[in-house]
């Protein structure tokens, strides 16, 4: 197993290097530059040149790339032009907020999705299956930002049960119940679509397993049905479900961008959108590399988990 993990880790290096090149080239090629974005109406060629010199953007591209990469390998992601603070501080601040949001949404979608899928599969074409399928299709079909806005209107503006936006109360608060109150709506809005997808695919995976011989054997031996489903069948089906969860984790992370905008969640998705619009090159590059590294890391964890469940995969 140790060798397998090492192999997977080593294979991540070229992926990450490739990402640094791509994101660097994209930021270099898109029209508009940070100096123009900062200066706005006052972006005379003279002012732009003065600012670019200050920001070190008058260096040749290849040099800029290697300076950036070299610094990053030493843990220095540079300074954000627009926010005037170290890129890494900003990313870490924001990433913890995104992790709380996306992590909660991920747990919601994994638990609810698998439970719904299993219940659905175990009563195929029954009333519960039909009801769950209906809700799931509805959930998949509603755009999450729309759902988010509708939730704000109902629960925050009309009923005033929950706060509209933000992560903590603006005055006082700051404790766990305060966080949960702010987290409820965005986490649900973010989880809905992924839950639907996980439920659909869990149902399929379960149906396949339930038709297999070992299930019939277990039933024939008189194993209680509950254990057949949640013990034997689900464990076997997890091999098919876990990769889906891995994909959904990425989906939840990227979907967080919209949700963070709607709910003003101080996360990394919002940060990236702002940074792109401001042409805050180092923040965009650092943020993308950081997120990509997390995504690659998560995929390694998923692969390893899968290999542990199903020894056939480890080759």
Partner 1 sequence: MAFSSLTRRSFGVLTAALLASSALISPANAQTPPGILVVGQIAEPQALDPHAVTAVNDFRILMNIYDGLVRYAPGTLEVEPALAEAWEISEDGLIYTFSLRDGVTFHDGSAFDAAAVVWNFDRMLNEDHPYHDTGPFPLSFFFSAIETVEALDDLTVQFTLNEPFAPFLSNLAYPTGLIVSPAAVMDHGSDFGRNPSGTGPFQFAEWRSNERVVVTRNDDYWDGVAGTEAVIFRPITDANTRVAEMLAGGIDVMVEVPPVAVSQFDRAGFALHEQDGPHVWFLILNAKEGPFADKRVRQAANYAIDKRALVEDVLEGTASIASGPIAPAFAWAYAGLDPYPHDPDRARELLAEAGAEGAQITFFVTEGGSGMLDPIPMGTAIQADLAAVGFDVRIETFEWNTFLGRVNPGLEGQADMAQMAWMTNDPDTLPFLTLRTDAWPEAGGFNSGYYSNPEVDALLEAARVETDPDERARLYREMQVIVQKDAPWVFGANWRQNAVTRDAVENFRLEPSFFLLLRDVVKN
Q: Which residues bind partner 1 (CB under 8 A)?
A: 30-33, 35-47, 51, 54-55, 79, 82-85, 90, 93-94, 115, 119, 122-123, 128, 149, 152-153, 156-157, 160-171, 177, 180-181, 184, 224-226, 261-264, 266, 270-271, 274, 277, 279
- Which letter does DSSP use for residue 222 in this model? T
What is the smallest separation between the CB atom of 11 and partner 1, expressed in angstroms?
35
What is the smallest separation between the CB atom of 260 and partner 1, expressed in angstroms?
9
Q: Which residue is listed with tokens 């090629």?
A: 29
Nearest CB to partner 1, comparing residues 181 and 314 = 181
Nearest CB to partner 1, comparing residues 9 and 25 = 25
**Cα separations (Å) of 144 from 57, 220, 292?**
39, 45, 23
Whether 122 and 210 have beta carbons less than 8 Å apart is answered as yes
What is the smallest separation between the CB atom of 163 and partner 1, expressed in angstroms?
6
What is the smallest separation between the CB atom of 89 and partner 1, expressed in angstroms?
9
Q: Which residue is listed with tokens 């195929």?
A: 124
Nearest CB to partner 1, comparing residues 84 and 315 = 84
Relative orientation angle of helices 87-122 and 281-309, to the nearest 10 degrees? 40
How long, in residues, is the chain? 315
Nearest CB to partner 1, comparing residues 132 and 236 = 132
Nearest CB to partner 1, comparing residues 18 and 126 = 126
DSSP per residue over 76-92, as a string?
---B-TTT-SBHHHHHH
What is the smallest separation between the CB atom of 37 and partner 1, expressed in angstroms?
5
């Amino acid at each position: 197993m140790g060798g397998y993990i090492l192999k997977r880790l080593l294979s991540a290096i070229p992926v990450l290097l490739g990402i640094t090149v791509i994101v660097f080239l994209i930021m270099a090629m898109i029209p508009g530059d940070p100096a123009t974005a900062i200066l706005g109406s006052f972006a005379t060629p003279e002012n732009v040149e003065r600012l670019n010199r200050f920001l070190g953007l008058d260096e040749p591209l290849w040099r800029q790339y290697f300076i950036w990469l070299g610094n990053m390998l030493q843990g220095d992601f540079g300074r954000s032009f627009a926010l005037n603070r170290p890129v890494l501080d900003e990313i870490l601040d924001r990433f913890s907020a995104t992790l709380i949001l996306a992590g909660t949404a991920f747990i919601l979608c994994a638990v609810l999705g698998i439970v719904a899928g299993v219940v659905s599969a175990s009563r195929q074409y029954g009333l519960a299956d039909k009801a769950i399928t209906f809700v799931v299709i509805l959930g998949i079909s509603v755009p999450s930002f729309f759902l988010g806005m509708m939730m704000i209107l109902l629960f925050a503006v009309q009923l005033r049960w929950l706060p509209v936006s933000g992560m903590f109360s603006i005055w006082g608060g700051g404790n766990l119940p305060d966080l949960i109150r702010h987290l409820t709506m965005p986490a649900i809005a973010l989880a809905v679509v992924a839950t639907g997808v996980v439920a659909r695919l869990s149902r399929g995976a379960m149906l396949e397993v339930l038709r297999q011989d070992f299930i019939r054997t277990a039933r024939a031996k008189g194993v209680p049905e509950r254990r057949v489903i949640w013990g034997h069948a689900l464990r076997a089906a997890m091999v098919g479900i876990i990769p889906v969860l891995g994909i959904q984790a990425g989906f939840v992370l990227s979907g967080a961008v919209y949700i963070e905008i709607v709910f003003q969640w101080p996360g990394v998705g919002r940060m990236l959108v702002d940074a792109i619009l401001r042409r805050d090159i180092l923040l965009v590059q650092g943020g993308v590399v950081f997120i990509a590294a997390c995504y690659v890391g998560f995929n390694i964890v998923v692969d390893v988990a899968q290999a542990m469940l199903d020894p056939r995969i480890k080759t």
